[in-house]
Structure 1
Amino acid sequence: MALSAGGASVTQVTIQAPVKLNLYLHVVGRKGDGYHEVDTLIAFTDYGDSITVEPADRFEIVTEGPFAADLPDKEGNLVIHAVRALRDAAGFVGGAKITLSKNIPIAAGIGGGSADAAAAMWAVARLYDVDTKEKVDLFEIGSGLGSDVPACLFRRPCFASGVGHDLISAPVLPEAGVILVNPGVKLATASVFKARKGGFTPDGSNIEANLEKVSLLVSFLKNRANDLTDAAVKLCPAVEDALYALEQLPGCRLARMSGSGATCFGIFDDRAAADLAASEFEAPDHWWMQPMALAMPERV
């Protein structure tokens, strides 16, 4: 493939980069290279960032949105690394102007950077008509970029194991309402894993489970946990405050931290229940709160 910027098959592509939630997260072991092995159930929501790409001679990124100012230097952004890796693998000539609408906090345990990188790769692949079925393996590229990128490329509820790259489709999940709360503190994943104490948890996945109703999902999750919560609370005590605040909201069926934090989520029967509870939520001004729902993102 040797498409140039002028040879792009379409003139603009927009793809959503949905919030990724770790509904539970068990640390099940540690490899010889120091990386931890996990067992986690990943879901996505109907809210998140947005990526728009247009043909250009080189890759450049423009950021907007409430959290744009918190993003790393543009050359260090994972989105740029991802699309350059895609270009190297696909062999097209040119780039893209990438507009990233950053609507969720960064370093927050909800896969923002990984979801942005995944959405950007899908968008650029569509822009240049890259054959992602036979010629270029986006999941292989994504595995070299970060532990959450493959799941964000998959864009479906899944159990992830190993270092996060081994994915198995999860059972159908309900369109439960959720409220996300972030206490305004960034937590680095490596720091949280380093602060974690204790042993390992046996694999808790069950690909045969019936999770279609909220009650069934909550019952399933109550037998599991996020093994990084205590470490995150040690580094950021406000995580415990966020969990407590969610638990007090009317209709909250379960409150838990996502990923390595500091974002926490509460599960509700539906989006209407989440919206109602959010209207009664009182928190410090520097906290971020957003109601949304579990959803199946657009397939690309």
Structure 2
Amino acid sequence: MATEAFAPAKINLTLHVTGQRADGYHLLDSLVVFCDVGDTLSAAPADRLSLRVDGPMAAGVPDDASNLVMRAARFLDLSRGAAMMLTKRLPVASGIGGGSSDAAAALRALSALWDVPLPSPEETLPLGADVPVCMTPRPQRIRGVGARLCPVPDLPTADLVLVNPRLPVPTPAVFGALTRRDRSPMPEELPRWPDAAALAEWLGTMRNDLEAPAIRVQPAIADVLRVLRAEKPLHAAMSGSGATCYALLPAGQGAGLAETLKAAHPGWWVASGAILRDTGAA
């Protein structure tokens, strides 16, 4: 029987770069949430392992061993087969963890299909720094290189509007443009946010340390942020290393803003959804 898993978009509401290890890995402190917009991974019994990719954002996505989904499958079990289908709705290399979330979804789907234990989030770090947090897609705090996951206070209900200008922003170039790698972390104890407005007010005192270098690499990010902030959301910032930016709004208001942006900027990728306050895994 086939199994299916949802791969939600991962959004860094904050991203503080606090150091760099001798091996080159950066140390981060980030508040991460997931949105109910994402890809879908299905897996059916088969003698050999295969992957097909479809969906509106499938162009250019490999279906061979270089895809992180295939690497995740072999990480889980080297010997078993499955026919996997990845439906891509998230843009590639866009700062919202699409590939890592796809890999985590593959692990969940194949664990159920093959009846094998699911690895812990920490055990998946060899697949990539974002895979551990994507294994349990709920609000979390990431520290270190990605495997140190910490629970956070309950987040209020809220909508996110995600906007990507469909322009490439290579992550290595963004880190290369970073001028400081030793900035302050978030407060040790995070507050409790009674509503989306309180969360937005607090986010306004935090940072994404990659936003300025990403804008130097791809100036179109500044245009997206200017357009988003002109719409007066509760808060707007860039996610991850870009180029996707987000606007935080009260629950139920995201769809309207998304439609406005789609009409005004038909060349942009725009999506809206609610912050996942549960595991989000299906």
TM class, shorter-length: over 0.9
Larger CA deviation: 69-78 vs 112-121? 69-78
Taking the aligned partners of 2:130 and 2:71, their CA distance within structure 1 comes to 15
Deviation (angstroms), 1:205:
4.3
- 1:36 matched to 2:16? The reply is no
Please state how far the C-alpha of 1:262 moved relative to its aligned partner. Answer: 0.2
Larger radius of gyration: 1
Matches of 2:9 and 2:267 in 1, distance apart?
Answer: 20
In structure 1, the partner of 2:112 is 126
Seq. identity, %:
38
Check 1:291–1:58 CA distance in 2 against 1; reply closer, same or farther (3 A cut): same
In structure 1, stretches of 5+ residues that fail to align are 1-10
Q: Secondary structure at the match of 1:39?
A: strand
What's 2:207 paired with?
225
Residue 186 (structure 1) aligns with: 168
Instruction: Give the letter aligned to residue 162 of structure 1.
Output: G
CA distance in 1 between partners of 2:115 and 2:188 (Å)? 37
Q: 1:97 offset after TM fit, Å?
A: 0.7
Distance 1:73 1:50, change over 3 A: closer
Which residue is 2:241 aligned to?
260
The structural deviation recorded for 1:284 is: 3.5
What is the number of equivalent residue pairs in this alignment? 280
Asked if the contact 2:122/2:148 (under 8 Å) is kept, the reply is no
Change (3 A) 1:217 1:49: same
CA contact (8 A) 2:36 2:280 kept: no
Q: How far apart, CA to CA, are the structure 2 residues paired with 1:123 and 1:177?
A: 27
What is the Cα deviation at residue 76 of structure 1? Answer: 0.7
Q: Residues 284 and 215 from structure 1, CA distance in 2 versus in 1: closer, same or farther, beyond 3 angstroms?
A: closer
- Equivalent residue in structure 1 for 2:121, among 118, 125, 139: 139
Give me the TM-score of the superposition, normalised by structure 1: 0.89
- In structure 2, relative to structure 1, the CA distance for the partners of 1:278 and 1:157 (3 Å cut) is same
Task: Tell me if the contact between 1:28 and 1:38 (Cα under 8 Å) persists in the aligned partners.
Answer: yes
Shift of 1:72: 3.2
Deviations 1:170-213 (A, max 9, x none): 11112211110000112222221111113522110444410241
Q: Runs of at least 4 residues of structure 1 off by over 6 A?
A: none
Classify 1:299/1:66 alpha carbon distance in 2 versus 1 (closer, same or farther; 3 Å). Answer: closer
- RMSD (Å) for aligned C-alpha atoms: 1.5
Matched, 1:74 2:55: no
Residue 95 (structure 1) shift: 1.3
Q: 1:258, 1:28 → 2: CA distance?
A: 17
Q: Note if 1:274 corresponds to 2:254.
A: yes
Pick which of 46-55 and 275-284 moved more. Answer: 275-284
Specify the alignment match of 1:112 in structure 2: 98
Contact kept, 8 Å, 2:52 with 2:63, in 1: the verdict is no
Give 3-state SS (helix, strand or coil) of 1:68's partner. coil
Q: Aligned to 1:124, what secondary structure does the other structure show?
A: helix
